Amino acid sequence: MNKGVVLVVDDEPPIRDILSFYLKRAGYQVLLAEDGRKGLEAMAKLQPDLILSDLRMPEMAGDEFCKTVKGDPATRDIYFILVSALDGAVSRIGGLALGADDMIAKPFHAQEVMAKVESAFRIIEMQKEIKRQNQELTRFQEKVKGELELAAKFQMGLLPEIPGRANGIRYTHRYLPAEGIGGDIYTILPTQDGGAAVLVADVSGHGVTAALISAMVKTSFEAQVRLGGGPMDWAREMNRHLCASTLSEQFATAFLACIEPGRPEIRYVIAGHPAPFRLHRGAAGGLHRPEQLGGRGFMLGIDATLPFEEHRAPLLPGDRLLLFTDGLVEVEREDRRLLGEDGLMRLSAELPADGDLAADQLVGQTRSFNHPVEFTDDVTLVVIDRVD
Amino acid sequence: MLNIQTRQEGSAAVVTIQGKVNFEVTAQLRDVIRDTVAQEQPKLLVINLEGVSFIDSSGLGLLVAARNSVDKNNGKLHLCSLPVQVKKTFDQTNLTNYFSIFATEQDALRGA
């Protein structure tokens, strides 16, 4: 069985013959050439695993041949052993500096050459194995990356189309997952009575697990809204659902709200989530005093028996709501300061009337505040203007 | 970096945490708490958060899970010495009402 291909390059026929004899006997396929140029010609037909080359040859000497082989990306991984008399023309170190992998001094014993060849082939095999594993890893990595990209696209598809309109409201969002795919989710749905139901949630952790749970949170919310009731019922049932279907450390902070037609208010539950800001007449843009909605409550998914509280706040046509997840305000700067909710409130005081411009401005100013530190967690910002 | 120390105080186990508790370090902290609960089976587990500069939702999740596992062993979990920033996070998520929280470690060890 063929143990590998060895190219022997030497201008002396007896040396070619003796090396060829030993190599063939040991099970290698042997290519022969009388100088570097002929060697390259032979290599064009069949690429060897190993080259044994003499240094002094009339046409393309061993040093030039070695440089040519090692300089070509297609052949540079071929193991190159330079065979040379150590007469001062070239030192061992000099030969290795040419890029040769090893050297054999002339005159040599055939056994020494064979021992070097055997050891070289052990290295060659190892290199091949590493290369193969590398390729496998790269393939795997690309596959995972591709799947993540698909999942991220799918997740983006779960978000409402923007800018959007539902019963009595106009909305837009900025959604920036930390790892391509994230644990933040938000949705806006029309309710049976002609109003709008709003959810912003942030599942603990990030990455794939958080993303899977976030999709579940969204589905659970949609199911609850379809059943009717209000934010309090939705929060209680979603909490029960999440407790039953996730592990002990996984839960979600959420803001759940409904805006009913003809009622100048918003009903909401805060489940461990940063409370949104309300800007009275903020939909017209300009300078306003943001107020943070009151109330607090447990996160969803901690304990099925925990109680939730429903709150109400005024929300009139022309008012604006800013909903966000903590990733927007909890970036630690180099001086260890955080923007925080207070900082975001200051930035929210003067915004353009257009929701998309307002969202861009807020995200932009938050980024400048953190600069050069980037967002580290999933970030969601939702701008809702009441228009009815 | 996170620094975690554990020690015994009579029938109680005390875990002292220093640093930032976020997603990157929860695995390390989870192991320590799990081992402490499994090996010592403490009647009382005190977690001292005095040196914690920041805790994110993964960290909170971990503490909730710790309470659940201590509950299962008929033990109690007491938290103590919450810095202002951490207290704010607990308040916002209502967890102040979910955990037994004490001002000092002494109080937490004495607290019934």
Q: Where are the domains of chain A?
A: 5-132, 159-386
Residue type, B86: V
| pLDDT higher than threshold 70 for residue A244 | yes
| pLDDT higher than threshold 60 for residue A89 | no
Those residues whose C-beta lies under 8 Å from the C-beta of residue B81, and which sit 6 or more positions away, are B48, B49, B50, B102, B103, B104, B105
Model pLDDT, residue A330: 87
Cβ pair B65:A330 closer than 8 A: no
Q: Which residues of A touch B61 (CB under 8 A)?
A: 204-205, 248-251
Residue type, A285: G
Separation of alpha carbons A313 and A319, rounded Å: 12
Determine which of A202, A203, A204, A242 to mutate to test the interface with B (most B C-beta atoms within 10 Å).
A204
Complex ipTM more than 0.85, yes or no: no
Closest of A168, A186, A187, A184 to residue A176, by C-alpha: A184
Model pLDDT, residue A28: 96
N residues, chain B: 112
Across residues B51-70, what is the average pLDDT? 87
Q: Which residues of A touch B69 (CB under 8 A)?
A: 248
| pLDDT higher than threshold 60 for residue A67 | yes
Q: Which two tokens stand for residue B4?
A: 């975690």
Q: Which residues of A touch B56 (CB under 8 A)?
A: 326, 330, 377
> How far away is chain A from the Cα of B12, in angstroms, using its nearest Cα?
24
Q: Which range, of A96-105, A178-187, A288-297, A303-312, averages the lowest pLDDT?
A: A96-105
Reported CATH class of domain A159-386: alpha beta
Check if A202 contacts B (Cβ < 8 Å). yes
CA dihedral sign, ordered A208, A210, A214, A216: positive
Does residue A289 sit in helix, strand or coil? coil
CATH of the domain at B69: 3.30.750.24
- Tens of pLDDT, residue by residue over A350-376, are 999 999 999 999 999 999 999 999 998
Q: Which residues of A touch B96 (CB under 8 A)?
A: none
Model pLDDT, residue A1: 64
Check if B28 contacts A (Cβ < 8 Å). no
pLDDT band at residue B32 under the 50/70/90 scheme: very high
Does residue B50 sit in helix, strand or coil? strand
Domain that holds residue B98: 3-110
- Tens of pLDDT, residue by residue over A298-347, are 999 988 888 899 999 999 999 999 999 999 998 888 998 889 999 999 99
Domain count, chain B: 1
The CATH superfamily of A5-132 is Response regulator (3.40.50.2300)
Give the C-alpha distances (Å, rounded to integers) separating B3 from A267, B21, B51: 43, 10, 9
Contact between A155 and A360 under an 8 Å Cβ cutoff? The reply is: no
Q: Percentage of chain A surpassing pLDDT 90?
A: 76
Does residue A365 sit in helix, strand or coil? helix
One DSSP character per residue, A148-196 reads HHHHHHHHHHHSPPSSEEETTEEEEEEEE-TBSB-SEEEEEEE-TTS-E
Check if B33 contacts A (Cβ < 8 Å). no
Closest CB to B93: pick one of A250, A299, A330: A299
Q: Which residues of B touch A251 (CB under 8 A)?
A: 57, 61, 64
